[in-house]
Amino acid sequence: MAQLVLRPGKDRSLACRHPWIFAAAVERLSGRVRPGDTVDVVAANGRPLAKAAWSPQSKIRARVWTFDPEEIVDNAFFKRRIRAAVERRRLTCELHRQEGLRLIHGESDGLPGLIADRYGDTVVLQLTAVGPEKWRLAIVGALQQASGCTRIYERSDSNVRRLEGLEPVTGWVLGEAPQEALTILENGVRMQVDVVTGHKTGFYLDQRENRRLTRELAKDRATLNCFCYTGGFSLQALAGGASRVLSIDSSGPALATAIGNLALNPQLDGSRAEWREADVFNELRVLRKEGQRFDLVILDPPKFAPSAAHAERAARAYRDINAFGFRLLNPGGLLMTYSCSGGIRSEHFQQIVADAAADAGCEGRILRRLGAPPDHPVALHFSEGEYLKGLLCQVD
């Protein structure tokens, strides 16, 4: 097996069990190795540290499979890791009876570059690095065995694959497309899941508990949902008894799906729902000019800062939309605001929201910090896994 030798002093992060090895930490690579091959990682003094997947084109040169230098990375390794991840979800009470569930969450489940989401009897697989790409067949087999699913669809089409020198790959790898539209029941609301062209793996599973909280908060509240996509927050607000729900998104197809989702739930009062296809930033200005006010505003924008390099520009965008959100609130109103940008840390996001409140001339407080549910765990030594950050704020 090839050996990856680290530069002096560059073994500290591995000693803390961080799974990424950056190019600047590599002294040399000895032996013949291809992208995705497993290499022995050793310190500058030759001390064995880990086994990792080699990625010559990425700034992250290697991703650690195991911190046990003696553990063998083979088909049985992936069978054990995947079975353990699925079992952890099975033993987590609040995940019971969820039809939409993340089964594998990359580094935080000890499987860097591997995402797997379950929607009923269908699992959607996403491989974002050359390591799991090399073990594709073993991963598919282990997923099918551990989950008992009858269908697996691959959505390896994220932009990060290009950083690894990989082309997009999509399609059914087990079973065939269902005859009817795929739907899941979430918090009592039926939702469509488009595993082929929908965002991420077809649905935003990471917002499941925050949508449930929206349902609890929405009673008799006029609600504004910005960047509504297919209506997850909107329908939960209706289910919770919101007096009205205005939903805005720039995507016509997404809004069409949202309206279709409303039709899937005849128990909801559709007369309280309004849908607008518009640029959210512009529409917030329009609402302000119209003098509209709301009791609950939800801001769940797309990723403005995929990395720290984009943080400054993203901060301005987050500040703008949050300032408008605050200005549209009635006294005592609630703002649920989120960032899914990995380049914006939690402390930074809170400061951005605080600055936005100051811009809007608002006084307020944080009632709750919001994040992803337990099927999206964060490894203790991998803070990068905590990408979703949210705040529930109340204004005076």
Q: Across-strand partners of 339?
A: 389
Q: Is 340 a catalytic residue?
A: yes
CA 21 to chain centre: 23
The answer to whether 218 and 240 are in contact (CB under 8 A) is yes
Give me the helices (H) in 72-181, please.
Answer: 75-90, 130-134, 136-147, 160-163
Burial of 150 (0-12, 13-18, 19+ CB in 10 A): middle
Burial of 66 (0-12, 13-18, 19+ CB in 10 A): middle
CA 230 to chain centre: 16
Secondary element (H or E) of residue 40: strand 38-42
Distance CA 83, CA 353 (A): 40
| Residue 22 vs residues 10, 62, 100, 131, 232: alpha-carbon distances, Å | 10, 7, 34, 15, 38
- Which candidate in 149, 228, 340, 362 is catalytic? 340
Cite the active site residues: 340
